[in-house]
Amino acid sequence: MQNTAYQDRKSAADQKPTADTAVLLRIIKLALRYRVRVAFAVGATIAAAIFQLMIPPLLGSAVDNALGLLSGGGVVAEDARSALVRAALLLLGASVLRGVFTLLHNYNGEAIGHLLAYDLRLAFYGKLQNLSFSFHDRVHTGELITRGMLDLDGVRMFVNTGLLRLVLLTILIGFGAYLLISTDIWLGLLSLSFVPFVAWRSSIARLRLRTLWLTLQERMANLGQIMDENLTGIRVVRAFGAEPYEIEKYDAASEEAMAVAEERIKTRVSSTTVMSYAYFMSMGLVLWVGGLRVLDGTMTVGTLTVFLTFITILQAPVRQLGLLVNSIARASTCGSRLFDILDLEPTIDDRADAKPVELTEGKVRFDDVSFTYAGEGVLPVLHGVSFEVQRGKTLGIVGPPGSGKSTIAHLLPRYYDPSGGRISIDGQDIRDITLESLRQTVRVVQQDPFLFTASLENNIAYGDPWADDGMIQDAASAAQIDGFVGLLPDGYGTLVGERGVSLSGGQRQRVAIARATMLRSAVLIFDDSTAAIDAETEQRIRESLKPHMANCASIIISHRLGALRHADEIVFLEGGRIVERGTHDTLLAENGRYAALFALQNRDGDTDMALQGVAE
């Protein structure tokens, strides 16, 4: 299985991204699940834009009132004053409404994003939980976590920073442009002269920054890896006196990252500052040309104020054009990465007519089973393996590394499907059984079990969270872990796992044994699951599991022959084929590979077998 890592690189990561627009449409469709809210948000956005646009004319008319009435003469001061008050109140009203609608626009935009993210999160989690082992073998966990976190965020933000902002900016810039141009076409065009320049600059900068950003991420990741490995391997570093070498290695990576970081800042700074320069330039032009017009008497000071204020209001949205483009680009990239996963179907799934298993004799059969891991040019792992295990009987499997022992443990619960032959339980092909009932029937104790950061009892009761204390304690005592639990400060409530009390390899394996045996399943497979447990304890576990094993078909995979001696049948696997089979005694008598391995283990004094075997 180690080799598949090299051969099967066509992971989801490399799949062709779906067309951009299709992805965006799909995101919009998902957002439309909340159509009332979406309608509300769009309405609020439009209202916010309108009120924002009302402010400059109001200011302008106020200025005109203040000035015009003064110079007009002959007007009653009372009228002028009330006109001012009216303008001020309108302005206040417009500001309040603009604020309220901006709130509604932003809040609803964010809310839809979070609702959408919630839906996607569940879909993603559910999908990953159900995708087959072969998928998880191929795709790196870090890659999946990135998709579930960063890519999901990219899609989430699209609603507010992409979709709604697009509506807002279209109205602000479009309608504003219309207003200005209709007021005065040349001055209007002049006020907007910076818009195309800024849009052009920001899209160039975005492309460049995106590349730089990706490179920087990569180089920082590289630097992070160097630091992480240095700290993890600090003893090796010290042992070889390699500190200077390590610092050199670090400096090289750091300088590489630094160069990109500098480049990024330079690019960003030169583009943002030149954009605001362009903005001020059109403001200056408006002031100049507008001023000349006022001097000509073809324009009022108030109109000029409208233009100047309007430019002020446009400053923010125009700067946001860059962000908008960025958000859309990000959403389409992120969305396609996310949908690639969501659209996958597990390769191993229930058949349409799958039924729960019907247990009668509790007999497991392998008929001429072959298996090849996915990928090109991969050699088959199992060739025509056949055996049978009855309830109450034990099959032992032994063989050199890579001989296919663990594959057998993976095929029975359908972690993978065989490429040839048939596996059955009580005559029913396991592919005709529902996965749920199959996996309840077949339990595998893994060699390197995963401990969850949770209490010990939660870990033991992982397969049946409703188990009562008695069941948990019985399982723990059968697995010989209860003594250790007694020494822990919080007993079964003690937090274990990555961030809890750390357990030794042997203790972890005992938890795994308790976890699997508590479930009282009809087929039990021990996949080299006592390798880190000392021989004496292993013996005790075997003793205490006896009543349980009498009620199930068990398969024990081990390289320690002591664990297999009492098996009803032992098969010796080599290169994926069964090359010897029999009981311990007949195999010894055969004087073949099994006997040789037995002798090897004896001579080394490498296992308990050495002395036990001699003593008997």
Partner 1 sequence: MSSLSETERAAARPPRAVVGSQISMDEEMFGAVFDGGVIRRFLSYVRPYRRSIILALIAVLVFTGAQLSIPLIIRYAIDEAIVSDRADTFRLTIAIAVFGVVITINYAANYLQDRLVGLAGEHVIFDLRRAMFAHLQHVALSFMDKTEIGRMMSRLQGDVNSLQEFLENSITAFGDIVLLFGIVIIMLMLDFKLGLLTLSVVPTLLIVRVIWLPRARVAFRRARETNSITNGALAEGIHAVRTVQGMGRENVNFQLYDDKARENMLAHLRSAKFAQAMIPVVDTLTGAAMGIVIIVGGTQVLDSTLDIGVMVAFLFYVQRFFDPIRSLTIQYSVMQRAMASGQRIFEVLEVPLAISDKPDSIDPAVIDGDIAFNDVTFGYTKNQPILKGVNFEVKRGETVALVGPTGSGKTSITALLHRFYDVWDGAVTIDGHDVRDFAKASLGRHIAMVLQDPFLFTGTIFENICYRTASATREDVERAAKVVGAHDFIMQLPDGYETVLEQQGRNLSLGQRQLLSFARALVADAKILVLDEATANIDSYTERQIQTALSRLLKDRTGIVIAHRLATIRGADRIVVLQQGSIVETGTHDALIAQKGLYARLYALNYASFDDIPDDMLQEALSGPAQT
Is residue 89 close enough to count as binding partner 1 by CB under 8 A? Answer: yes
Is residue 411 close enough to count as binding partner 1 by CB under 8 A? Answer: no
Among 217, 270, 347, 360, binds partner 1 (CB under 8 A): 270
Is residue 551 close enough to count as binding partner 1 by CB under 8 A? Answer: no
Is residue 543 close enough to count as binding partner 1 by CB under 8 A? Answer: no
Is residue 413 close enough to count as binding partner 1 by CB under 8 A? Answer: yes
How far is Cα 189 from Cα 200, in angstroms, rounded to an integer? 17
**How many chain residues bind partner 1 (CB under 8 A)?**
161
CB nearer to partner 1: give 70 or 185: 70
Is residue 252 close enough to count as binding partner 1 by CB under 8 A? Answer: no
Quick one: tokens of 215?
């490179």
| Alpha carbon of residue 481 to chain centroid | 34
Sign of the dihedral defined by the CA atoms of residues 26, 31, 36, 38, in that order: negative
Quick one: tokens of 533?
């447990």
Is residue 203 close enough to count as binding partner 1 by CB under 8 A? Answer: no
Is residue 98 close enough to count as binding partner 1 by CB under 8 A? Answer: yes
**Contact region with partner 1 (CB under 8 A), list: 3-11, 20-28, 32-40, 318-326:** 3-11
- Give the nearest distance from C-beta 245 to partner 1 in angstroms: 5
Quick one: tokens of 470?
């008695």
- Give the nearest distance from C-beta 390 to partner 1 in angstroms: 23
CB nearer to partner 1: give 294 or 325: 294
CB nearer to partner 1: give 32 or 234: 234
- Containing 287, the helix (H) or strand (E) segment is helix 243-296
Is residue 607 a contact partner of residue 559, using CB atoms and an 8 Å limit? no
- Give the nearest distance from C-beta 336 to partner 1 in angstroms: 20
Q: Which residues on adjacent β-strands are paired with residue 282? A: none
| Residues of span 281-300 touching partner 1 by CB under 8 A | 281, 283-284, 287-288, 291-292, 294-295
**Contact region with partner 1 (CB under 8 A), list: 36-44, 196-204, 277-285, 382-390:** 277-285
CB nearer to partner 1: give 124 or 526: 124
Which of 299, 47, 320 has its CA nearest to residue 180? 299
Among 272, 419, 428, 551, binds partner 1 (CB under 8 A): 272
Is residue 446 close enough to count as binding partner 1 by CB under 8 A? Answer: yes
Which of 191, 190, 201 has its CA nearest to residue 315? 191
Binding mask 108-147 for partner 1 (x = CB under 8 A): --xx--xx-xx--xx-xxx-xxxx-x--x----x--xx--
* DSSP code for 14: G
Is residue 190 a contact partner of residue 201, using CB atoms and an 8 Å limit? no
Is residue 227 close enough to count as binding partner 1 by CB under 8 A? Answer: yes
How far is Cα 387 from Cα 402, in angstroms, rounded to an integer? 19
How far is Cα 234 from Cα 400, in angstroms, rounded to an integer? 34
How far is Cα 552 from Cα 524, in angstroms, rounded to an integer? 7
Among 16, 29, 72, 231, binds partner 1 (CB under 8 A): 231
Among 25, 252, 379, 611, binds partner 1 (CB under 8 A): 611
- Give the nearest distance from C-beta 246 to partner 1 in angstroms: 6
- The phi, psi pair for 495, rounded to 5°, reads -75, 125
CB nearer to partner 1: give 125 or 200: 125
- Give the nearest distance from C-beta 97 to partner 1 in angstroms: 9
**Contact region with partner 1 (CB under 8 A), list: 182-190, 308-316, 334-342, 381-389:** 308-316
Mapped onto helix, strand or coil, the DSSP state of residue 499 is coil
Which of 40, 52, 172 has its CA nearest to residue 109? 40
Q: Which residue has the tokens 């604020």?
A: 99
CB nearer to partner 1: give 232 or 586: 232
- The phi, psi pair for 527, rounded to 5°, reads -90, 85
What distances in angstroms separate CA 282 from CA 188, 286, 310, 313, one per listed residue? 10, 6, 12, 14
Which of 606, 582, 612, 608 has its CA nearest to residue 594? 582
Binding mask 492-531 for partner 1 (x = CB under 8 A): ---x-xxx-----x---------x---------------x
| Residues of span 456-485 touching partner 1 by CB under 8 A | 457-458, 461-467
Q: What is the largest CA-CA distance in the chain?
A: 129
